[in-house]
């Protein structure tokens, strides 16, 4: 079983910064994507790593999928905790 803290760290980089980290990182993410522009977003990244030969758009969609996936799990864990007997 995972924890809310781990999920928050996974999508927000620094667990101890919590919700503030998520808001700041999200704003930085959006600004970076907007800064690429349409043409660069569709261009290959041409760098190492798992997405090295993919487009910035594919990496962006992966990042959005991670946020939706783990954000949903945070909500689920929060709801389970709130409804746990004796919580």
What gap in Å lies between CA 51 and CA 66, rounded to an integer? 14
Predicted TM-score (pTM) of the model is: 0.66
What gap in Å lies between CA 59 and CA 49, rounded to an integer? 11
CB-based burial label for 9 (10 Å; 0-12, 13-18, 19+): middle
Distances (CA, A) of 84 to 46, 63, 77, 80: 48, 31, 10, 6
pLDDT in tens, 10-22: 776 654 567 777 7
Report the pLDDT value the prediction gives residue 1, as an integer from 0 to 100.
64
pLDDT in tens, 32-77: 999 999 999 999 988 878 888 899 999 899 988 988 888 888 888 8
Token readout for 40 is 């660069």
């Amino acid at each position: 079983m995972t924890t809310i803290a781990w999920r928050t760290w996974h999508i927000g980089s620094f667990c101890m910064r919590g919700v503030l980290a998520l808001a700041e990182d999200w704003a930085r993410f959006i600004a970076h994507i907007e800064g690429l522009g349409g043409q660069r977003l569709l261009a290959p990244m041409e760098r190492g790593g798992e997405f090295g030969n993919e487009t910035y758009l594919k990496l962006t969609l992966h990042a959005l999928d991670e946020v939706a996936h783990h954000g949903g799990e945070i909500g689920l864990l929060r709801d389970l905790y709130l409804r746990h007997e004796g919580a």
